[in-house]
Structure 1
Amino acid sequence: MRVAVFSAKNYERALLNELNAGHGHDLVYFDALLEPETASLAAGFPAVSVFVNDAVNRDVLRSLAQGETKLVATRCTGFNHIDLEAADEFGIRVVRVANYSPNSVAEFAVGLLLALNRKIHRAYNRTREGNFKLDGLMGFDLVGRTVAVIGTGRIGTIFARIMAGFGCKVIGFDVHRSAEFEEIGGRYVDAKGVEEADVISMHCPLTPETYHIVDARTLGRVKTGALLINTSRGGLVDTDAAIDALKSGRLGGMAIDVYEQEADLFYRDLSSAVIPDDVIQRLVSFPNVIVTGHQAFFTREALETILGTTLASISEFEAGRPLAFEIAAPGRARG
Protein backbone atom coordinates (compact mmCIF):
# COMPACT_ATOMS: atom_id res chain seq x y z
CA MET A 1 0.00 0.00 0.00
CA ARG A 2 1.21 3.51 -0.80
CA VAL A 3 1.74 5.47 2.39
CA ALA A 4 2.49 9.19 2.71
CA VAL A 5 4.76 9.52 5.75
CA PHE A 6 4.85 13.04 7.16
CA SER A 7 7.37 14.50 9.61
CA ALA A 8 9.66 11.46 9.44
CA LYS A 9 13.22 12.22 10.51
CA ASN A 10 16.28 10.41 9.17
CA TYR A 11 16.40 8.00 12.12
CA GLU A 12 12.76 7.07 11.55
CA ARG A 13 13.21 6.58 7.82
CA ALA A 14 16.12 4.19 8.29
CA LEU A 15 14.22 2.07 10.80
CA LEU A 16 10.94 2.22 8.85
CA ASN A 17 12.72 0.98 5.73
CA GLU A 18 14.30 -1.84 7.73
CA LEU A 19 11.03 -2.93 9.36
CA ASN A 20 9.02 -2.48 6.18
CA ALA A 21 10.86 -5.42 4.61
CA GLY A 22 8.29 -7.63 6.31
CA HIS A 23 5.32 -5.61 5.03
CA GLY A 24 6.19 -4.39 1.55
CA HIS A 25 4.47 -1.00 1.69
CA ASP A 26 5.45 1.80 -0.68
CA LEU A 27 6.60 4.46 1.79
CA VAL A 28 6.91 8.01 0.45
CA TYR A 29 8.48 10.49 2.85
CA PHE A 30 7.66 14.16 3.27
CA ASP A 31 9.77 16.47 5.42
CA ALA A 32 6.88 18.85 5.96
CA LEU A 33 4.36 18.80 8.77
CA LEU A 34 0.90 17.72 7.71
CA GLU A 35 -1.28 20.83 7.85
CA PRO A 36 -3.86 22.48 5.57
CA GLU A 37 -1.14 23.91 3.33
CA THR A 38 0.56 20.53 2.78
CA ALA A 39 -2.40 18.13 2.84
CA SER A 40 -2.55 18.10 -0.96
CA LEU A 41 0.77 16.20 -0.96
CA ALA A 42 -1.16 13.15 0.23
CA ALA A 43 -3.51 13.07 -2.75
CA GLY A 44 -3.76 9.53 -4.12
CA PHE A 45 -2.31 7.87 -1.00
CA PRO A 46 -4.72 5.39 0.62
CA ALA A 47 -2.85 5.75 3.94
CA VAL A 48 -1.12 8.64 5.69
CA SER A 49 1.23 8.35 8.66
CA VAL A 50 1.64 11.31 11.01
CA PHE A 51 3.38 12.26 14.23
CA VAL A 52 2.49 14.24 17.32
CA ASN A 53 2.87 17.76 15.89
CA ASP A 54 1.05 17.15 12.61
CA ALA A 55 -2.27 19.03 12.56
CA VAL A 56 -4.87 16.46 11.55
CA ASN A 57 -7.81 18.84 11.90
CA ARG A 58 -11.11 19.08 10.02
CA ASP A 59 -9.62 21.01 7.09
CA VAL A 60 -6.78 18.54 6.71
CA LEU A 61 -9.09 15.53 6.96
CA ARG A 62 -11.44 17.01 4.38
CA SER A 63 -8.50 17.43 2.00
CA LEU A 64 -7.28 13.89 2.73
CA ALA A 65 -10.73 12.47 2.03
CA GLN A 66 -10.89 14.37 -1.25
CA GLY A 67 -7.55 12.78 -2.14
CA GLU A 68 -9.00 9.32 -1.38
CA THR A 69 -7.07 8.70 1.84
CA LYS A 70 -8.87 6.11 3.97
CA LEU A 71 -6.47 5.60 6.88
CA VAL A 72 -4.48 7.88 9.20
CA ALA A 73 -1.84 6.08 11.27
CA THR A 74 -0.29 8.22 13.98
CA ARG A 75 3.13 7.17 15.22
CA CYS A 76 2.37 8.04 18.82
CA THR A 77 0.09 7.14 21.70
CA GLY A 78 -1.65 10.49 22.12
CA PHE A 79 -4.24 11.51 19.55
CA ASN A 80 -5.31 14.99 20.66
CA HIS A 81 -3.88 16.30 17.36
CA ILE A 82 -6.52 14.36 15.38
CA ASP A 83 -10.16 15.45 15.00
CA LEU A 84 -11.79 12.04 15.40
CA GLU A 85 -15.31 13.29 14.74
CA ALA A 86 -14.22 14.82 11.43
CA ALA A 87 -12.37 11.62 10.52
CA ASP A 88 -15.56 9.64 11.13
CA GLU A 89 -17.58 12.13 9.08
CA PHE A 90 -15.20 11.85 6.12
CA GLY A 91 -14.90 8.06 6.31
CA ILE A 92 -11.28 7.98 7.42
CA ARG A 93 -10.20 5.40 10.00
CA VAL A 94 -7.54 6.24 12.56
CA VAL A 95 -5.01 4.02 14.32
CA ARG A 96 -2.43 4.82 16.94
CA VAL A 97 0.34 3.11 18.90
CA ALA A 98 -1.39 2.09 22.11
CA ASN A 99 1.67 0.63 23.80
CA TYR A 100 5.39 0.96 23.35
CA SER A 101 8.19 1.06 25.91
CA PRO A 102 6.62 2.89 28.86
CA ASN A 103 9.98 2.56 30.60
CA SER A 104 11.55 5.02 28.17
CA VAL A 105 9.31 7.90 29.25
CA ALA A 106 9.27 7.01 32.93
CA GLU A 107 13.07 6.71 33.07
CA PHE A 108 13.49 10.01 31.24
CA ALA A 109 11.17 11.74 33.72
CA VAL A 110 13.35 10.44 36.56
CA GLY A 111 16.42 11.72 34.71
CA LEU A 112 14.88 15.18 34.39
CA LEU A 113 14.00 15.18 38.08
CA LEU A 114 17.54 14.25 39.13
CA ALA A 115 19.09 16.84 36.82
CA LEU A 116 16.72 19.58 37.99
CA ASN A 117 17.01 18.83 41.70
CA ARG A 118 20.79 18.44 41.75
CA LYS A 119 21.41 21.25 39.24
CA ILE A 120 23.35 18.91 36.95
CA HIS A 121 22.62 21.05 33.89
CA ARG A 122 24.14 24.09 35.58
CA ALA A 123 27.15 22.17 36.89
CA TYR A 124 27.84 20.81 33.40
CA ASN A 125 27.92 24.29 31.91
CA ARG A 126 30.04 25.69 34.74
CA THR A 127 32.78 23.08 34.65
CA ARG A 128 33.14 23.46 30.88
CA GLU A 129 34.14 27.06 31.61
CA GLY A 130 36.50 26.10 34.43
CA ASN A 131 34.14 27.03 37.28
CA PHE A 132 34.13 24.30 39.92
CA LYS A 133 32.40 26.22 42.73
CA LEU A 134 29.33 24.68 44.35
CA ASP A 135 27.44 27.88 45.15
CA GLY A 136 23.85 27.67 43.91
CA LEU A 137 23.99 23.94 43.19
CA MET A 138 22.43 22.57 46.39
CA GLY A 139 19.55 20.13 45.98
CA PHE A 140 17.66 17.91 48.41
CA ASP A 141 17.59 14.20 49.23
CA LEU A 142 14.70 12.40 47.53
CA VAL A 143 14.38 9.76 50.25
CA GLY A 144 11.35 10.50 52.41
CA ARG A 145 10.00 13.14 50.01
CA THR A 146 6.47 13.04 48.60
CA VAL A 147 6.05 12.61 44.85
CA ALA A 148 2.69 13.31 43.22
CA VAL A 149 1.98 11.33 40.06
CA ILE A 150 -0.76 12.86 37.93
CA GLY A 151 -1.94 9.95 35.78
CA THR A 152 -1.27 6.45 37.08
CA GLY A 153 -1.43 4.48 33.87
CA ARG A 154 1.47 2.32 32.71
CA ILE A 155 4.03 5.13 32.46
CA GLY A 156 2.93 6.85 35.65
CA THR A 157 3.00 3.60 37.60
CA ILE A 158 6.50 2.73 36.37
CA PHE A 159 7.66 6.22 37.34
CA ALA A 160 6.04 5.77 40.75
CA ARG A 161 7.76 2.39 41.20
CA ILE A 162 11.15 3.97 40.50
CA MET A 163 10.47 6.80 42.92
CA ALA A 164 9.35 4.32 45.58
CA GLY A 165 12.73 2.66 45.05
CA PHE A 166 14.35 5.97 45.97
CA GLY A 167 12.48 5.82 49.26
CA CYS A 168 9.85 8.40 48.29
CA LYS A 169 6.25 8.52 49.42
CA VAL A 170 4.06 8.33 46.33
CA ILE A 171 0.61 9.86 45.94
CA GLY A 172 -1.60 9.65 42.87
CA PHE A 173 -4.23 11.64 41.01
CA ASP A 174 -6.39 9.73 38.51
CA VAL A 175 -10.07 9.09 37.81
CA HIS A 176 -9.15 5.44 37.31
CA ARG A 177 -7.40 3.69 40.17
CA SER A 178 -4.51 1.33 39.47
CA ALA A 179 -4.15 -1.73 41.69
CA GLU A 180 -0.49 -1.92 40.71
CA PHE A 181 0.06 1.68 41.80
CA GLU A 182 -1.47 0.90 45.19
CA GLU A 183 0.54 -2.33 45.51
CA ILE A 184 3.79 -0.36 45.42
CA GLY A 185 2.52 1.85 48.23
CA GLY A 186 0.87 4.54 46.15
CA ARG A 187 -1.93 6.45 47.87
CA TYR A 188 -4.69 8.24 45.97
CA VAL A 189 -5.62 11.76 47.05
CA ASP A 190 -7.94 14.52 45.90
CA ALA A 191 -6.87 17.87 44.41
CA LYS A 192 -5.84 19.25 47.80
CA GLY A 193 -3.32 16.45 48.13
CA VAL A 194 -0.94 18.38 45.89
CA GLU A 195 -0.10 20.42 48.98
CA GLU A 196 1.88 17.44 50.26
CA ALA A 197 4.07 17.08 47.18
CA ASP A 198 7.72 17.98 46.90
CA VAL A 199 7.67 16.75 43.28
CA ILE A 200 4.80 16.70 40.77
CA SER A 201 5.15 14.58 37.64
CA MET A 202 2.68 14.58 34.75
CA HIS A 203 1.72 11.27 33.11
CA CYS A 204 -1.86 11.68 31.90
CA PRO A 205 -3.21 12.16 28.35
CA LEU A 206 -4.34 15.54 27.09
CA THR A 207 -8.13 15.69 26.88
CA PRO A 208 -10.64 18.53 27.31
CA GLU A 209 -10.87 17.48 30.96
CA THR A 210 -7.10 17.53 31.58
CA TYR A 211 -6.28 20.68 29.61
CA HIS A 212 -4.42 23.02 32.00
CA ILE A 213 -5.03 20.61 34.86
CA VAL A 214 -2.04 22.33 36.42
CA ASP A 215 -3.15 25.96 36.44
CA ALA A 216 -2.76 29.00 38.69
CA ARG A 217 -5.18 27.52 41.22
CA THR A 218 -3.27 24.22 41.41
CA LEU A 219 0.08 25.97 41.59
CA GLY A 220 -1.23 28.20 44.36
CA ARG A 221 -1.67 25.08 46.50
CA VAL A 222 1.75 23.48 45.96
CA LYS A 223 4.39 23.38 48.64
CA THR A 224 6.85 26.25 48.25
CA GLY A 225 9.88 25.00 46.34
CA ALA A 226 8.14 22.01 44.72
CA LEU A 227 9.50 20.70 41.43
CA LEU A 228 7.27 20.14 38.38
CA ILE A 229 8.11 17.54 35.71
CA ASN A 230 6.13 17.16 32.47
CA THR A 231 6.94 14.44 29.93
CA SER A 232 3.35 13.90 28.78
CA ARG A 233 1.66 16.77 26.87
CA GLY A 234 2.36 20.49 26.95
CA GLY A 235 -1.29 21.47 27.29
CA LEU A 236 -1.55 19.84 30.71
CA VAL A 237 0.27 22.81 32.22
CA ASP A 238 -0.75 26.47 31.98
CA THR A 239 2.67 27.78 31.00
CA ASP A 240 1.96 31.40 31.94
CA ALA A 241 0.81 30.29 35.39
CA ALA A 242 3.93 28.14 35.75
CA ILE A 243 6.14 31.12 34.88
CA ASP A 244 4.40 33.21 37.53
CA ALA A 245 4.93 30.41 40.06
CA LEU A 246 8.61 30.20 39.16
CA LYS A 247 9.03 33.95 39.50
CA SER A 248 7.33 34.00 42.91
CA GLY A 249 9.37 31.05 44.15
CA ARG A 250 6.28 28.89 44.67
CA LEU A 251 7.78 26.46 42.14
CA GLY A 252 11.37 25.64 42.90
CA GLY A 253 11.99 24.42 39.38
CA MET A 254 10.41 22.90 36.29
CA ALA A 255 11.61 20.38 33.71
CA ILE A 256 9.54 19.91 30.55
CA ASP A 257 9.97 17.64 27.57
CA VAL A 258 6.74 18.98 26.06
CA TYR A 259 5.41 22.48 25.46
CA GLU A 260 2.03 23.93 24.53
CA GLN A 261 3.31 25.58 21.34
CA GLU A 262 5.94 22.98 20.47
CA ALA A 263 4.68 22.30 16.94
CA ASP A 264 6.49 25.39 15.65
CA LEU A 265 9.73 24.53 17.43
CA PHE A 266 10.41 20.90 18.24
CA TYR A 267 12.23 18.51 15.89
CA ARG A 268 13.81 21.46 14.07
CA ASP A 269 17.25 23.07 14.20
CA LEU A 270 16.55 26.73 14.98
CA SER A 271 20.01 27.49 16.35
CA SER A 272 20.67 30.08 13.63
CA ALA A 273 17.21 31.64 13.73
CA VAL A 274 15.54 34.27 15.84
CA ILE A 275 12.82 32.38 17.71
CA PRO A 276 9.71 34.56 17.90
CA ASP A 277 8.15 32.58 20.76
CA ASP A 278 8.75 34.84 23.78
CA VAL A 279 7.41 32.26 26.24
CA ILE A 280 9.91 29.53 25.37
CA GLN A 281 12.70 32.11 25.26
CA ARG A 282 11.75 33.17 28.74
CA LEU A 283 11.64 29.60 30.01
CA VAL A 284 15.09 28.63 28.73
CA SER A 285 16.53 31.76 30.37
CA PHE A 286 15.53 30.58 33.86
CA PRO A 287 18.34 28.78 35.71
CA ASN A 288 15.82 26.46 37.40
CA VAL A 289 14.10 25.32 34.21
CA ILE A 290 15.15 22.48 31.90
CA VAL A 291 13.56 22.20 28.45
CA THR A 292 14.11 19.21 26.17
CA GLY A 293 12.58 18.66 22.75
CA HIS A 294 10.02 15.84 23.21
CA GLN A 295 12.62 13.09 23.41
CA ALA A 296 11.39 11.07 26.40
CA PHE A 297 10.15 8.28 24.11
CA PHE A 298 13.39 8.20 22.15
CA THR A 299 15.02 4.82 22.78
CA ARG A 300 15.78 2.11 20.26
CA GLU A 301 13.30 -0.25 21.91
CA ALA A 302 10.48 2.29 21.94
CA LEU A 303 11.05 3.44 18.37
CA GLU A 304 11.10 -0.12 17.02
CA THR A 305 7.77 -0.82 18.72
CA ILE A 306 6.21 2.45 17.56
CA LEU A 307 7.18 2.01 13.93
CA GLY A 308 6.56 -1.73 13.88
CA THR A 309 3.06 -1.24 15.29
CA THR A 310 2.33 1.49 12.74
CA LEU A 311 3.35 -0.71 9.82
CA ALA A 312 1.37 -3.65 11.21
CA SER A 313 -1.75 -1.49 11.49
CA ILE A 314 -1.38 -0.38 7.88
CA SER A 315 -1.02 -4.04 6.85
CA GLU A 316 -4.17 -4.92 8.79
CA PHE A 317 -6.06 -2.19 6.97
CA GLU A 318 -4.75 -3.28 3.58
CA ALA A 319 -5.81 -6.88 4.24
CA GLY A 320 -9.25 -5.86 5.49
CA ARG A 321 -8.60 -7.31 8.95
CA PRO A 322 -9.85 -5.77 12.22
CA LEU A 323 -7.67 -2.87 13.33
CA ALA A 324 -6.24 -3.75 16.72
CA PHE A 325 -5.31 -0.18 17.58
CA GLU A 326 -8.13 1.77 15.99
CA ILE A 327 -9.41 4.86 17.78
CA ALA A 328 -12.88 6.18 17.09
CA ALA A 329 -14.90 9.28 17.76
CA PRO A 330 -16.87 9.24 21.03
CA GLY A 331 -20.08 7.28 20.56
CA ARG A 332 -18.86 5.33 17.54
CA ALA A 333 -17.84 1.72 17.84
CA ARG A 334 -14.47 0.66 16.46
CA GLY A 335 -14.68 -1.02 13.08
Structure 2
Amino acid sequence: RVPAYSPEAVAEFTIGLLLALDRNIPRAWNRVRENNFALDGLIGRNLSSRTVGVVGTGRIGALVARSLRLGFGCEVLASDLVEDPDLLAIGVRYAPVDTLLREVDVITLHCPLTPDTRHLIDQARLASARPGVTIVNTSRGALIDTTALIEGLKSRKVGGVALDVYEQEADLFFEDLSNEIIQDDVFQRLLTFPNVLITGHQAFLTEEALSAIAETTLASLADAEAGRPLACQVTAQQVRGSGR
Protein backbone atom coordinates (compact mmCIF):
# COMPACT_ATOMS: atom_id res chain seq x y z
CA ARG A 1 0.00 0.00 0.00
CA VAL A 2 1.27 3.45 -0.96
CA PRO A 3 -1.17 5.82 0.74
CA ALA A 4 0.22 9.16 -0.44
CA TYR A 5 2.64 8.56 -3.28
CA SER A 6 1.74 11.74 -5.17
CA PRO A 7 -1.14 13.91 -4.06
CA GLU A 8 0.29 16.58 -6.35
CA ALA A 9 -0.24 14.35 -9.39
CA VAL A 10 -3.94 13.86 -8.67
CA ALA A 11 -4.51 17.49 -7.68
CA GLU A 12 -2.87 18.79 -10.86
CA PHE A 13 -4.85 16.36 -13.00
CA THR A 14 -8.09 17.45 -11.33
CA ILE A 15 -7.52 21.06 -12.27
CA GLY A 16 -6.41 20.00 -15.74
CA LEU A 17 -9.70 18.16 -16.28
CA LEU A 18 -11.67 21.15 -15.09
CA LEU A 19 -9.82 23.54 -17.40
CA ALA A 20 -10.12 21.18 -20.37
CA LEU A 21 -13.86 20.86 -19.80
CA ASP A 22 -14.47 24.57 -19.20
CA ARG A 23 -12.47 25.66 -22.24
CA ASN A 24 -13.70 22.94 -24.61
CA ILE A 25 -10.14 21.79 -25.29
CA PRO A 26 -10.97 18.20 -26.39
CA ARG A 27 -13.61 19.48 -28.81
CA ALA A 28 -11.24 22.12 -30.19
CA TRP A 29 -8.47 19.56 -30.71
CA ASN A 30 -10.80 17.20 -32.57
CA ARG A 31 -11.80 20.05 -34.88
CA VAL A 32 -8.23 21.12 -35.58
CA ARG A 33 -7.33 17.56 -36.56
CA GLU A 34 -10.00 17.88 -39.27
CA ASN A 35 -8.69 21.30 -40.37
CA ASN A 36 -11.70 23.00 -38.81
CA PHE A 37 -10.51 26.20 -37.15
CA ALA A 38 -13.92 27.77 -36.58
CA LEU A 39 -14.61 29.02 -33.07
CA ASP A 40 -18.35 28.35 -33.08
CA GLY A 41 -19.41 26.46 -29.97
CA LEU A 42 -16.06 26.86 -28.22
CA ILE A 43 -16.93 29.69 -25.86
CA GLY A 44 -15.58 28.80 -22.44
CA ARG A 45 -15.83 30.14 -18.92
CA ASN A 46 -13.27 31.86 -16.72
CA LEU A 47 -12.38 29.62 -13.81
CA SER A 48 -11.48 32.69 -11.77
CA SER A 49 -15.09 33.89 -11.81
CA ARG A 50 -16.54 30.66 -10.44
CA THR A 51 -17.25 29.36 -6.97
CA VAL A 52 -15.78 25.89 -6.45
CA GLY A 53 -16.79 23.35 -3.83
CA VAL A 54 -14.11 20.91 -2.66
CA VAL A 55 -15.56 17.86 -0.90
CA GLY A 56 -12.80 16.34 1.21
CA THR A 57 -9.73 18.36 2.18
CA GLY A 58 -7.17 15.69 2.86
CA ARG A 59 -3.84 15.98 1.10
CA ILE A 60 -5.25 15.98 -2.43
CA GLY A 61 -8.32 18.08 -1.72
CA ALA A 62 -6.28 20.65 0.20
CA LEU A 63 -3.88 21.02 -2.73
CA VAL A 64 -6.80 21.51 -5.12
CA ALA A 65 -8.44 24.07 -2.84
CA ARG A 66 -5.18 25.98 -2.35
CA SER A 67 -4.42 26.02 -6.09
CA LEU A 68 -7.89 27.22 -6.99
CA ARG A 69 -7.92 29.88 -4.29
CA LEU A 70 -4.40 31.27 -4.66
CA GLY A 71 -3.63 30.34 -8.25
CA PHE A 72 -6.93 31.23 -9.92
CA GLY A 73 -8.61 33.48 -7.38
CA CYS A 74 -11.69 31.29 -7.08
CA GLU A 75 -14.10 31.53 -4.23
CA VAL A 76 -13.66 28.14 -2.57
CA LEU A 77 -16.04 26.33 -0.25
CA ALA A 78 -14.97 23.08 1.36
CA SER A 79 -16.65 20.27 3.24
CA ASP A 80 -14.87 17.89 5.60
CA LEU A 81 -15.26 16.49 9.09
CA VAL A 82 -12.04 18.27 10.07
CA GLU A 83 -11.38 21.85 8.96
CA ASP A 84 -7.88 22.63 7.69
CA PRO A 85 -6.59 25.77 9.45
CA ASP A 86 -4.18 26.49 6.59
CA LEU A 87 -7.10 26.62 4.16
CA LEU A 88 -9.13 28.81 6.50
CA ALA A 89 -6.19 31.21 6.63
CA ILE A 90 -6.32 31.80 2.87
CA GLY A 91 -10.06 32.41 2.77
CA VAL A 92 -11.50 28.96 2.12
CA ARG A 93 -14.86 28.60 3.85
CA TYR A 94 -16.20 25.34 5.26
CA ALA A 95 -19.83 24.27 5.01
CA PRO A 96 -21.88 21.06 5.17
CA VAL A 97 -22.14 19.21 1.86
CA ASP A 98 -25.78 20.13 1.31
CA THR A 99 -25.05 23.83 1.87
CA LEU A 100 -22.00 23.66 -0.37
CA LEU A 101 -23.98 22.12 -3.23
CA ARG A 102 -26.44 25.00 -3.23
CA GLU A 103 -23.73 27.67 -3.41
CA VAL A 104 -21.10 26.46 -5.88
CA ASP A 105 -20.71 26.36 -9.65
CA VAL A 106 -18.23 23.47 -9.58
CA ILE A 107 -18.06 20.41 -7.32
CA THR A 108 -14.82 18.43 -7.11
CA LEU A 109 -14.74 15.23 -5.06
CA HIS A 110 -11.75 14.18 -2.96
CA CYS A 111 -13.25 12.16 -0.11
CA PRO A 112 -12.80 8.42 0.56
CA LEU A 113 -15.46 5.90 -0.36
CA THR A 114 -17.26 4.66 2.75
CA PRO A 115 -20.81 3.44 3.39
CA ASP A 116 -21.67 7.05 4.30
CA THR A 117 -20.20 8.56 1.13
CA ARG A 118 -21.38 5.98 -1.41
CA HIS A 119 -23.61 7.85 -3.88
CA LEU A 120 -22.85 11.09 -2.08
CA ILE A 121 -23.93 12.81 -5.27
CA ASP A 122 -27.38 11.39 -5.90
CA GLN A 123 -30.68 12.53 -7.37
CA ALA A 124 -31.72 14.51 -4.29
CA ARG A 125 -28.43 16.36 -3.98
CA LEU A 126 -28.28 17.10 -7.69
CA ALA A 127 -31.77 18.56 -7.45
CA SER A 128 -30.55 21.01 -4.81
CA ALA A 129 -27.46 22.07 -6.77
CA ARG A 130 -27.18 25.18 -8.89
CA PRO A 131 -28.42 24.84 -12.47
CA GLY A 132 -25.56 24.00 -14.81
CA VAL A 133 -23.26 22.75 -12.08
CA THR A 134 -19.96 21.17 -13.15
CA ILE A 135 -18.87 17.96 -11.41
CA VAL A 136 -15.31 16.61 -11.29
CA ASN A 137 -14.41 13.26 -9.73
CA THR A 138 -10.85 11.95 -9.45
CA SER A 139 -11.45 10.09 -6.18
CA ARG A 140 -13.77 7.06 -6.24
CA GLY A 141 -16.37 6.26 -8.87
CA ALA A 142 -19.11 5.19 -6.48
CA LEU A 143 -19.21 8.62 -4.85
CA ILE A 144 -21.58 9.45 -7.70
CA ASP A 145 -24.85 7.72 -8.57
CA THR A 146 -24.19 7.44 -12.30
CA THR A 147 -27.84 6.96 -13.23
CA ALA A 148 -28.77 10.15 -11.39
CA LEU A 149 -25.85 11.92 -13.06
CA ILE A 150 -27.12 10.96 -16.51
CA GLU A 151 -30.57 12.27 -15.68
CA GLY A 152 -28.98 15.51 -14.52
CA LEU A 153 -27.11 15.81 -17.81
CA LYS A 154 -30.25 15.14 -19.83
CA SER A 155 -32.18 17.84 -17.97
CA ARG A 156 -29.19 20.24 -18.17
CA LYS A 157 -29.18 20.53 -14.40
CA VAL A 158 -25.60 19.30 -14.72
CA GLY A 159 -23.66 21.49 -17.13
CA GLY A 160 -20.51 19.41 -17.41
CA VAL A 161 -18.81 16.34 -16.00
CA ALA A 162 -15.14 15.33 -15.84
CA LEU A 163 -14.39 11.85 -14.51
CA ASP A 164 -11.18 9.92 -14.00
CA VAL A 165 -13.07 7.21 -12.11
CA TYR A 166 -16.30 5.34 -12.77
CA GLU A 167 -18.59 3.33 -10.54
CA GLN A 168 -18.17 0.11 -12.55
CA GLU A 169 -14.67 0.77 -13.84
CA ALA A 170 -13.25 -2.64 -12.86
CA ASP A 171 -14.58 -4.15 -16.10
CA LEU A 172 -13.27 -1.31 -18.27
CA PHE A 173 -10.26 0.62 -17.11
CA PHE A 174 -6.62 -0.44 -17.53
CA GLU A 175 -7.53 -2.58 -20.56
CA ASP A 176 -7.36 -1.96 -24.31
CA LEU A 177 -10.96 -2.53 -25.40
CA SER A 178 -10.68 -0.62 -28.68
CA ASN A 179 -11.69 -3.70 -30.67
CA GLU A 180 -14.36 -4.84 -28.24
CA ILE A 181 -18.04 -4.04 -27.82
CA ILE A 182 -18.56 -2.34 -24.47
CA GLN A 183 -21.37 -4.10 -22.63
CA ASP A 184 -21.85 -1.38 -20.02
CA ASP A 185 -24.83 0.59 -21.36
CA VAL A 186 -24.60 3.20 -18.61
CA PHE A 187 -21.00 4.00 -19.48
CA GLN A 188 -21.85 4.08 -23.17
CA ARG A 189 -24.61 6.58 -22.45
CA LEU A 190 -22.15 8.82 -20.62
CA LEU A 191 -19.91 8.86 -23.68
CA THR A 192 -22.70 10.31 -25.84
CA PHE A 193 -22.77 13.65 -24.02
CA PRO A 194 -20.64 16.41 -25.56
CA ASN A 195 -20.10 17.98 -22.14
CA VAL A 196 -18.66 14.86 -20.51
CA LEU A 197 -14.91 14.21 -20.34
CA ILE A 198 -13.72 10.79 -19.15
CA THR A 199 -10.20 9.47 -18.61
CA GLY A 200 -9.27 5.95 -17.54
CA HIS A 201 -8.10 6.39 -13.93
CA GLN A 202 -4.81 8.03 -14.89
CA ALA A 203 -4.69 10.96 -12.46
CA PHE A 204 -1.90 9.30 -10.46
CA LEU A 205 0.18 8.40 -13.50
CA THR A 206 3.31 10.55 -13.42
CA GLU A 207 7.00 9.65 -13.42
CA GLU A 208 7.34 10.99 -9.89
CA ALA A 209 4.39 8.98 -8.60
CA LEU A 210 5.61 5.74 -10.16
CA SER A 211 9.04 6.26 -8.62
CA ALA A 212 7.46 6.80 -5.21
CA ILE A 213 5.38 3.63 -5.60
CA ALA A 214 8.48 1.59 -6.45
CA GLU A 215 10.54 3.05 -3.60
CA THR A 216 7.79 2.50 -1.03
CA THR A 217 7.18 -1.06 -2.23
CA LEU A 218 10.86 -1.95 -2.00
CA ALA A 219 11.12 -0.40 1.46
CA SER A 220 8.08 -2.40 2.61
CA LEU A 221 9.60 -5.63 1.30
CA ALA A 222 12.84 -4.89 3.13
CA ASP A 223 10.93 -4.19 6.37
CA ALA A 224 8.95 -7.42 6.02
CA GLU A 225 12.07 -9.49 5.40
CA ALA A 226 13.79 -7.94 8.41
CA GLY A 227 10.75 -8.44 10.64
CA ARG A 228 10.25 -4.72 11.15
CA PRO A 229 6.77 -3.14 11.50
CA LEU A 230 5.21 -2.29 8.14
CA ALA A 231 4.47 1.40 7.76
CA CYS A 232 2.06 0.79 4.86
CA GLN A 233 0.40 -2.46 5.92
CA VAL A 234 -2.97 -3.26 4.39
CA THR A 235 -5.66 -4.40 6.84
CA ALA A 236 -8.65 -6.61 6.09
CA GLN A 237 -10.94 -3.66 6.79
CA GLN A 238 -9.15 -1.54 4.19
CA VAL A 239 -9.48 -4.29 1.60
CA ARG A 240 -13.22 -4.59 2.25
CA GLY A 241 -13.68 -0.82 1.94
CA SER A 242 -11.56 -0.33 -1.16
CA GLY A 243 -14.33 -0.60 -3.73
CA ARG A 244 -14.53 2.16 -6.31
Task: Tell me the TM-score range normalised by the shorter chain.
Answer: over 0.9
**AA partner of residue 121 (structure 1):** P
1:299 aligns with 2:203: no
- Report the 3-state secondary structure (helix = DSSP H, G, I; strand = E; otherwise coil) of the residue aligned with 2:73: coil
Select the residue among 164, 169, 185 that pairs with 1:257: 164
Select the residue among 4, 7, 17 that pairs with 1:112: 17
Unaligned runs of 5+ in 2: 238-244
Select the residue among 146, 150, 168 that pairs with 2:74: 168
**AA partner of residue 124 (structure 1):** W
**AA partner of residue 23 (structure 2):** R
Q: Distance in 2 between matches of 1:252 and 1:136?
A: 14
Q: Distance in 2 between matches of 1:263 and 1:311?
A: 26
- Report the 3-state secondary structure (helix = DSSP H, G, I; strand = E; otherwise coil) of the residue aligned with 1:170: strand
Select the residue among 50, 58, 61 that pairs with 1:156: 61
Displacement of 1:327: 4.0
Displacement of 1:329: 5.0
Q: Distance in 2 between matches of 1:110 and 1:137?
A: 19
**AA partner of residue 97 (structure 1):** V
* Percent identity (aligned): 56
Q: Distance in 1 between matches of 2:171 and 2:150?
A: 20
Q: Distance in 2 between matches of 1:222 and 1:323?
A: 43
Q: Any conservation in 2 of the 1:192–1:221 contact (CA below 8 Å)?
A: no
**AA partner of residue 317 (structure 1):** A
Unaligned runs of 5+ in 1: 1-95, 331-335
Q: Tell me the TM-score normalized by structure 1.
A: 0.68
Query: Which structure has the bigger radius of gyration?
Result: 1
- Report the 3-state secondary structure (helix = DSSP H, G, I; strand = E; otherwise coil) of the residue aligned with 1:326: coil
Q: Distance in 2 between matches of 1:128 and 1:183?
A: 45
1:290 aligns with 2:197: yes
- 1:1-335 paired onto structure 2 within 5 Å: 96-164=1-69, 165-190=71-96, 191-328=98-235
- Report the 3-state secondary structure (helix = DSSP H, G, I; strand = E; otherwise coil) of the residue aligned with 1:100: coil
Q: Distance in 2 between matches of 1:294 and 1:104?
A: 12
After TM superposition, the structure 1 stretch with the greater mean CA deviation from structure 2, 318-327 or 154-163, is: 318-327
Q: Distance in 1 between matches of 2:129 and 2:2?
A: 34
**Cα RMSD over matched residues?**
1.2
**AA partner of residue 14 (structure 2):** A
- What number of residue pairs does the alignment pair up? 235
Q: Any conservation in 2 of the 1:119–1:138 contact (CA below 8 Å)?
A: yes
Q: Any conservation in 2 of the 1:100–1:306 contact (CA below 8 Å)?
A: yes
**AA partner of residue 294 (structure 1):** H
- Report the 3-state secondary structure (helix = DSSP H, G, I; strand = E; otherwise coil) of the residue aligned with 1:143: helix
Q: Distance in 2 between matches of 1:303 and 1:329?
A: 25
Question: Between Structure 1 and Structure 2, which shows a larger proportion of helix residues?
Answer: 2
Cα separation, partners in 2 of 1:290 and 1:195, compared to 1, 3 Å: same
**AA partner of residue 184 (structure 1):** I
Displacement of 1:181: 2.0
Q: Distance in 2 between matches of 1:135 and 1:221?
A: 32
Q: 1:165-219 deviations in whole A, cap 9, x for unaligned?
A: 2010010011122122212221101122211111110111111111111111111
**AA partner of residue 178 (structure 1):** D
Q: Any conservation in 2 of the 1:173–1:188 contact (CA below 8 Å)?
A: yes
Q: Any conservation in 1 of the 2:134–2:159 contact (CA below 8 Å)?
A: yes
Displacement of 1:326: 2.2
**AA partner of residue 308 (structure 1):** E
**AA partner of residue 167 (structure 2):** E
